[in-house]
Amino acid sequence: MDDLDPDLAPPLHEAARQGLPLPVVERRLVGDVDARWRGRTALWEAVMHRHYEVAKLLAEAGADPWAPLIGGWSPGRLALAGPHPTLFGAPDSHLTTAEMTAIARARRRIAAVGDPEVEGMSIACLAHVDSAEAAGRLRALPVDIPNFVQWAEDPWSEGMTDDEVLHTVGVTDVPGGCVVTQWAGFTAAAPGLLARLTPGSSAYAMSVDPRGGCQGIAFHHGHLVAADLSPGSGDAGQDDTGSEVLRAYLYYGHPVAYCCDAAGLSPEDQRPFIGPPTKLLRLPPMMH
């Protein structure tokens, strides 16, 4: 049970989340070191956000690494899935076969996708639909851009109007489905586009505002499932399932790979996000 103000992160939680210097964390070690805020302890925040020295300090101060918090996970079990599995000594529980499979999959996906530069862009990861089907669902027409690399760096370099740039996307086939990418703007993550793409399917999309960071949105069978999501941020909601908590931990700092995993896609390289795409498309008006 949380005893803290739900709208204001306690100083110790915030210090652990940000990985502030150890002397700063020590000064905030007052009261209950295992106090919960939004279902998590300061130790949870330190582990989730990969601040392992802070985590060790909190454990030495009495924080319980094995207390189950969200989705059946404790800070200690999360650490077992990361680069420091013996952070808290011998575990009092073990990872399941399914969890080990998810860890191996995350390592492969992060290695393949990396962290492409996506500032100012939007992407949608669409399950079980290829680029040809996506083009048909969007009623889009093919576009030829001879100097794609220059255009991707400056989508106005080909003399397009703002409206034409807004309605130009790339679609790339990947194992598990396809990726829709817009190199300038939010259209690939727009509800109108995702509603057309996802009948009988699902998608996880994100846009990247230089000021607001990554913002995610999820669709299933043509309907909005969740909005205002934060892929790659390490945020886990109190009602998240165990698999969602593990995904938040494994893909912390890797929002593009997070989107791929959430949609079940397995890109083999960065091409879906940096181009050239399988198809360049011009969307009809009012798609966004």
pLDDT in 10s for each residue of the chain, 288 residues: 455 566 788 999 999 999 999 999 999 998 899 999 999 999 999 999 999 999 999 999 999 999 999 999 999 999 999 999 999 988 767 899 999 999 999 999 999 999 998 999 999 999 999 999 999 999 999 999 988 999 999 998 888 899 999 999 999 999 999 999 999 999 999 999 999 999 999 999 999 987 778 999 999 999 999 999 999 999 998 999 999 999 999 999 999 999 999 999 999 999 999 999 999 999 998 655
Report cis status (omega within 30 of 0) of the bond before 175: no
Distance between CA atoms of 203 and 53, rounded to whole angstroms? 37
Do residues 260 and 270 touch, judged by C-beta distance below 8 A? no
The pLDDT value given to residue 288: 55
Question: What's the start-to-end Cα distance of the chain, in Å?
Answer: 42
Joined together, the tokens standing for residue 136 give 């048909």
Amino acid at 187: T
**pLDDT at residue 91 in the model:** 79
Contacts of 285 (CB under 8 A, 6+ apart): 163, 167
What is the spatial distance between Cα 64 and Cα 88, in angstroms, rounded to a whole number?
10
User: What pLDDT is attached to residue 209?
Assistant: 85
DSSP notation for 264-285? T---SSSHHHHS--SEEEEPPT
What CA–CA distances, in Å, run from 142 to 125, 137, 145, 166, 170? 20, 13, 10, 15, 10
Q: Give the pLDDT score at 6.
A: 66
Q: Which residues are CB-contacts of 246 (< 8 A; sequence separation ≥ 6)?
A: 71, 73, 78, 81, 99, 102, 103
Order across the sheet with 168-174: list the strands: 141-142, 279-282, 168-174, 177-182, 122-127, 202-209, 213-220, 223-229
Q: What angle do CA 271, 199, 134 make, to 5 degrees?
A: 35
- The domains found in the chain, sorted by start residue, are 11-95 (1.25.40.20), 117-282 (no CATH)
Point out which residues pair with 34 in neighbouring strands: none
Q: Rounded to two decimals, what is the model's pTM?
A: 0.93
